[in-house]
C-alpha cells in the first residue's frame, strides 16, 4: 500500500517500487491484445473495484473512443500534433498516430457503470466489479 508513508518522497519511491514489482504481471493475461501495444496501462485495485490509468499526453478528449462489452474494454483514438507551418524543427521526439487497444479483465465487470475521467493527459477508467462477482457472506443457518 502506498498510503502509509510520512514523507512525500518516501511515498513516491514506494509507489514506484510497487509499480515495478507488478510490472507486466499476468493479471490481464493474453487477451485479444497482449501487453506491449499503445497505450501503456496500469491497473489498480481500489476496494472492490478497479481503476485503469492510461497516460495519453496530447490526446484530445474528443478524439478518444472507449467501449466496454462484457469484460473487455477498448481504448482507441488518434494523437495529433500540430505546429506552426513556418516553424523550423530542432528536435522532435513526440510521436503522433492512431492507436487501438483492447484489454480483457479477468473479473466480472459492470460495463454500463464504467466511468472515464481525463485530466492533464491521464485517462482514468473506473471499473466497478459486477455485483455477482463480489464475495458474499454466507451465514450458517
Partner 1 sequence: MTTGQELQVQQKREVEKKQESTVPARVYVPVTDIFETNAALMLALEMPGVDRENIDVKLESGVLTIEGTIDFTKYEGMYPVYTEYNVGNYARTFELSSDIDQERISAELKDGVVMLTLPKLEKAKPRKIKVS
Among the listed residues 48, 60, 67, 70, the single contact to partner 1 using CB under 8 A? 60
Rounded Cα distance between 124 and 115, Å, is 8
Among the listed residues 23, 30, 138, 140, the single contact to partner 1 using CB under 8 A? 23
What's the CA angle centered on 32, arms 31 and 37, to 5 degrees?
95
Burial of 140 (0-12, 13-18, 19+ CB in 10 A): exposed
* Contact code string over 80-119 relative to partner 1, x by CB under 8 A: -x-xx-xxxxxxxxxxxxxx------------------x-
Say whether residue 16 binds partner 1 (CB under 8 A): yes
If binding means CB under 8 A, how many residues of this protein chain bind partner 1? 64
Rounded Cα distance between 98 and 101, Å, is 10
Distances in whole angstroms, Cα of residue 3 to Cα of each of 7, 21, 50, 57, 83: 11, 17, 17, 26, 41
Taking the least distance from each CB to partner 1, the nearer of 13 and 131 is: 13
Question: Rounded to the nearest whole angstrom, what is the least distance from the CB of residue 140 to partner 1 in the complex?
Answer: 31
Where on the chain is the footprint of partner 1 (CB under 8 A)?
A: 1-3, 8-9, 11-13, 15-16, 18-25, 27-28, 35-47, 50-51, 55-61, 79, 81, 83-84, 86-99, 118, 120-122
Amino acid at each position: 500500500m502506498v498510503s502509509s508513508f510520512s514523507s512525500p518522497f518516501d511515498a513516491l519511491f514506494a509507489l514506484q517500487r510497487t509499480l515495478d514489482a507488478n510490472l507486466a504481471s499476468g493479471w490481464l493475461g493474453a487477451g485479444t491484445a497482449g501487453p506491449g501495444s499503445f497505450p501503456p496501462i496500469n491497473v489498480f485495485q481500489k476496494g472492490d473495484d478497479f481503476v485503469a490509468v492510461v497516460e495519453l499526453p496530447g490526446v484530445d478528449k474528443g478524439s478518444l473512443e472507449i467501449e466496454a462489452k462484457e469484460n473487455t474494454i477498448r481504448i482507441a483514438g488518434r494523437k495529433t500534433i500540430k505546429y506552426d507551418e513556418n516553424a523550423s524543427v530542432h528536435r522532435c521526439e513526440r510521436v503522433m498516430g492512431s492507436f487501438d487497444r483492447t484489454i480483457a479483465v479477468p473479473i466480472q465487470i459492470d460495463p454500463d457503470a464504467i466511468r472515464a475521467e481525463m485530466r492533464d493527459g491521464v485517462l482514468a477508467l473506473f471499473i466497478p466489479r459486477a455485483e455477482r462477482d463480489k464475495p458474499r457472506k454466507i451465514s450458517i443457518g
